[in-house]
Chain A
Amino acid sequence: MTLSRRQFFKVCAAGAGTTSLALLGFSPDQALAEVRAFKLARATETRNTCPYCSVGCGVLIYTLGDGSKNVRSEVIHVEGDPDHPVNRGTLCPKGAGLKDFIQSEGRLLYPEYRAPNSREWQRISWDEAFTRIAQLMKEDRDANFIATNEAGQTVNRWLTTGMLAASASSNETGYLTHKFARSLGMLAFDNQARV
């Protein structure tokens, strides 16, 4: 006779408080204890930098699988990089929870559009988004670009559309964003540094 584990637990719960369960004369299958298997043994390890504050801690991102073609990789764990001179493997509560940021239910998955006075989002394609945004920007720029000021000086600026850049984006993104914004003549252009 063998009880299923669940049945066995139920019996135990019923008997709890009155008797030692060993008196029942049974012990479950696999009675011997075993520690949990080490979950990162063959995961892929990638070196990255924490995106939160400016300490710039090194992190190790563990993903499922070994990178082979048929595996859809998924982040399964994040831990501090022990080689990093500043954090030496440590992470604060924000860094220690980075997996929850990567996999947050608040992550956006596809481009969305909210029409004037609408109560809701609607899903759109990237091409629709780029086309409409470019059109709006061009209309505004063409209508409001200031080539010369009242004094007749060349100023070549566009003040009616502005941009806030992401101070957690990479230098490469920041550099490209700067080129983009200034080539359009934007001055209403800032990043998080001021606040």
Chain B
Amino acid sequence: MALQSLDIQARSATTTAVPGVRETLDVAKLIDISKCIGCKACQVACMQWNDLQGEIGHNHGDYQNPRDLNDTTWTLMRFYEVEPEPDRLEWLIRKDGCMHCADPGCLAACPAPGAIVRYSNGIVDFHQEHCIGCGYCITGCPFDIPRLSKKDEKAYKCTLCSDRVAVGLAPACVKTCPTGAITFGGKDEMIRHAETRVADLRERGFVKAGLYDPPGVGGTHVMYVLQHADRPELYGLPKDPTISPLVELWKGAAKPLAIATMALVGLASLFHYVTKGPNAVSREIEKETEHEEEEQA
């Protein structure tokens, strides 16, 4: 079962009631773009912690590497050379990755039971063992974050280091950030911290500085401090992100089916319990899997 520190609050394609008694801290990561030096320590720390071995690509005429988010790149520095006013160059560098929406479009879109969950602390996590590789989560995401792997046809994205947070640590990117551009804590506390940062930036002449915590997705558990909060597009961010209407449509059409499905799942689980006992991986399945993997290799 899930660790108690991370009660599941929502689960894709599932209507089973979720535990609701324990009150956990609503966490958030705050990325202050005005302090970010684009060093990519977060990218490397993410790969290291999550055991991701990326491809060694090419230089495409800029500092952004890899080219885009992918199955082994769950966070990526995006570089923007902009002139918000004439003759004033700014190099805006944004750490891109999952926003951990309070109302996650990926989870709403996902048809695979338990492939996407939202924990009570706000983290939205993908569980690849349940992922069917349909890519609906990508359609559902207003920030274009999840990526399907060519290796195993499964969707991957930032987990906000749910394994670290579960044992009381901050995500790897947060811990490593040399300048403290990434901070982590309770969401309320992060908003208060952001307010002090915004005040500092305004004092330094960024009169439109502000917090990016878009309400269209219920707010996010990854927020940005922007020097130009009135122009999120300068940073490659959507101005008013919402869940795609396609996902809403899918949810509407699928609803009756989903109910029927859940009944079936319930029955199947009961059958499983009666015949095999509580969840345990059978030796045959393990062997079978290993055998297949050998065949493929």
Would A and B touch once assembled, by the CB under 8 A criterion?
Answer: yes
Nearest-CB distance from B67 to chain A (Å)?
17
| Per-residue interface assignment for chain A, residues 118 to 131, with 1 indicating a CB less than 8 Å from any chain B CB and 0 otherwise | 00000000000000
**Residues B133 and A9 in contact, CB atoms below 8 Å apart:** yes
Q: How far is the CA of A4 from the CA of B262 in the complex (A)?
A: 21
Q: How far is the CA of A19 from the CA of B136 in the complex (A)?
A: 11
**Residues A15 and B268 in contact, CB atoms below 8 Å apart:** no
Q: How far is the CA of A87 from the CA of B272 in the complex (A)?
A: 52
Q: How far is the CA of A93 from the CA of B262 in the complex (A)?
A: 46
Nearest-CB distance from B158 to chain A (Å)?
13
The reply to whether the CB of A146 lies closer than 8 angstroms to some CB of chain B is no
Q: How far is the CA of A3 from the CA of B112 in the complex (A)?
A: 16
Classify chain B: how many residues form its interface, as a range.
35 or more
The one of B163, B176, B180, B281 in contact with A80, judged by C-beta atoms closer than 8 angstroms, is B176
**Residues A29 and B281 in contact, CB atoms below 8 Å apart:** yes
- Interface centre among B117, B129, B177, by most chain A C-beta atoms within 10 angstroms, is B129
**Residues B113 and A19 in contact, CB atoms below 8 Å apart:** no
**Residues A92 and B1 in contact, CB atoms below 8 Å apart:** no
| Chain B residues within 8 Å of A79, by CB | 172, 175-176
The reply to whether the CB of A71 lies closer than 8 angstroms to some CB of chain B is no
Q: Which of A78-132 contact B (CB under 8 A)?
A: 78-80, 82, 87, 89-93, 95-97, 99-100
The reply to whether the CB of A164 lies closer than 8 angstroms to some CB of chain B is no
The reply to whether the CB of B21 lies closer than 8 angstroms to some CB of chain A is no
The reply to whether the CB of A151 lies closer than 8 angstroms to some CB of chain B is no
The reply to whether the CB of B162 lies closer than 8 angstroms to some CB of chain A is yes
The 8 closest A-B pairs by CB, nearest first: A12-B132, A16-B134, A22-B261, A20-B111, A36-B163, A96-B44, A25-B264, A96-B45
Q: 11 new A-B pairs (CB below 8 Å) besides A30-B281, A91-B176, A96-B44?
A: A4-B292, A21-B113, A29-B282, A31-B130, A31-B269, A35-B125, A77-B48, A90-B176, A91-B41, A93-B43, A97-B47
Residues of B within 8 A of A (CB): 1-3, 6, 8, 11, 13, 39-41, 43-45, 47-49, 111-114, 117, 125, 127, 129-130, 132-135, 153, 159, 162-164, 166-167, 172, 175-178, 180, 254, 257-258, 260-262, 264-265, 267-269, 272, 276, 279-282, 285, 288-289, 292-293
